[in-house]
Amino acid sequence: MNWIMRTLDREIKKHRTNNPFEIAKNRNIIIRYFPLGQTLGFYMKNVRHQVITINSDIEDYLKKFVCAHELGHAILHKDENTPFLHKNTLFSKDKIEREANEFAVHLLLHGENLEDYETKFDVLRENGIPLEMERYIFF
């Protein structure tokens, strides 16, 4: 089991839920909604406050996935400034995004019996996860 899955399991056990909104609330992470155009959401930490911003104009099912993805950043990369890292260091922004996607998919699918579905796309569609995340599902 990789470090992301260990971290995810700890969070779910600690908060007794896989709901990203509840976990964020329990961790005192501020969630706010603004119209963001093409941006789905983002995570930032200023001083001591962690903030997840979600595009208020997207569908509700997608808000849950975006919250889970940004919660992944809040937990896995809580002190990272990704634009700074991307431009000025060797640490890949793409790697950070992949880790947050993996966290989000597995958080939302925690407890799901994947054998009940015929395809990966059925799993994604039924759980409100974008189809592009199929690479993070293993049967």
**What is the domain partition of the chain in residue ranges?**
3-136
In the chain, beta strands by DSSP E: 30-34, 41-46, 49-55
CATH number of 3-136: 1.10.10.2910
User: Using one digit for the tens of pLDDT, what is the confidence trace for 61-92?
Assistant: 999 999 999 999 999 998 876 544 444 444 55
Catalytic residue among 11, 22, 70, 134: 70
For the record, the structure tokens of 42 come out as: 């983002």
Q: Is 115 an annotated catalytic residue? A: no
Other CB atoms within 10 A of residue 137 CB: 19
Tell me the average pLDDT across 39-68: 93
Angstrom distances, CA of residue 120 to CA of 2, 62, 116: 21, 18, 11
Tell me the average pLDDT across 36-56: 91
